Structure 1
């Protein structure tokens, strides 16, 4: 009974983390039984092989379901990059073709306006099935959402191309200053993903948002992005929206139950 529970737990966790991992785990388990594999290293190696094969196969199958991958295999000439291979390894790098085109067009625009600038993508969506949750996000369930890293500069004001404050691009927040708008002040929701991770903040480098590039990216998204690609909304924390001088109605606050958006930019198309 304990073994069954452990296997069921592994299937659940792998499914939530990668969407395809639970099925792959069951396939690897059956294959290990068929081949008479008993030692854990051999079973684990078989699972990794099956998972790698399934991940590659997913890239070819996903377009039939209306989604395409953002590649982690980029060259020095690419201006749109995925922040970490972990996003591709976990199959969290899928978007609709229209959203991919929008992201690539934004990156091309930023490179044209600020030569050499790299635009960094973070979490996107899983490869199959609308409505499947991409935890811990409350959306990212239909291929139409993508998170982008902010553009950063160092303490001396020099632009840091392709850099993020945290290794995965999340959880290194731009803290509001005195007098800034605080829409969630005084709330203590028990069911929320608005985590502050206060203990982590001193561990991140003291980069700051590069205002010129970040404002230019939002300006393009709210004009060309809307007109050409049907951009529907952008999530930014109010204190950053105000600091960047953004007034466009497509730029919104995501609500107090969703994750903070002063560590990344959320874009969504219709």
Structure 2
């Protein structure tokens, strides 16, 4: 009974993390038993082979379900990159074609306005099934959402191309200054993903948001992004929105139960 519970728990965790990992685990488990394989390393190898095969198959099948992958195999000339291979390894790099086109067009615009600038994508969506949660996000469940990293500069003001404060682009927050707008101040919600990760903050380098490029990206999103690609919403933390001088109504606060958005920009299309 304990073994069944353990296997079930592994399937649930792999499914929540990767969407298809649980199925790959069940196939690998069945194959190991059918072939009488007992050694852990051999079982792990079979699972990895099943998982890689399932991921490759997902990349081929996803377009039939209305989603396409953002590539993690960027060359030195690409101006749109996915921050880490982990997003592709976990199948979190899928979007609807119009979101992919929007991301590529934004990167091309930034490269044109600021030659050589790299635009960095973060979490997107899983390859299949509308409504399947991409934890810890509350809304990345239909292929219409994508996160971008901010553009950063070092303490001397030098632009850091393609660099983020954290290795995966998340959780290194831009802390509000005294007097900034704090819509969630005083709230203590029990069910929330608005985590501050205070213990992690000293571990990240003291980079700052590069205002010129970040503002230019948001201006493009709220103009060309809306007109050409049906962009509906952008989530940015209020204190950053105010600091960047953004007034467009498409840029909104995501609410106090959702994750902080002063470490990344969230966009979604209609």
Q: TM-score if structure 1 supplies the norm length? A: 1.00
1:268 paired to 2:263:
no
- Match of 1:31? 31
The Cα of 1:35 is off from its aligned counterpart by: 1.3
- Match of 1:42? 42
Alpha-carbon separation, structure 2, partners of 1:74 and 1:205: 25
Alpha-carbon separation, structure 2, partners of 1:35 and 1:107: 49
* Poorly superposed stretches of 4+, deviation over 6 Å: none
- Match of 1:224? 224
- Match of 1:180? 180
Which runs of no fewer than 5 residues in structure 2 stay unpaired?
A: none
- Match of 1:58? 58
Deviations 1:197-249 (A, max 9, x none): 00000000000000000000000000000000000000000000000000000
Which runs of no fewer than 5 residues in structure 1 stay unpaired?
A: none
- Match of 1:212? 212
- Match of 1:251? 251
Alpha-carbon separation, structure 2, partners of 1:139 and 1:48: 29
Question: Alignment RMSD, CA only?
Answer: 0.3
Alpha-carbon separation, structure 2, partners of 1:54 and 1:259: 30
- Match of 2:15? 15
Deviations 1:106-150 (A, max 9, x none): 000000000000000000000000000000000000000000000
Q: TM-score if structure 2 supplies the norm length? A: 1.00
Deviations 1:17-65 (A, max 9, x none): 0000000100000111111111111000100011011111110000000
Alpha-carbon separation, structure 1, partners of 2:151 and 2:70: 19
Q: Report the secondary structure of 2:232's partner residue.
A: strand
Query: What count of residue pairs does the alignment treat as equivalent?
Result: 270
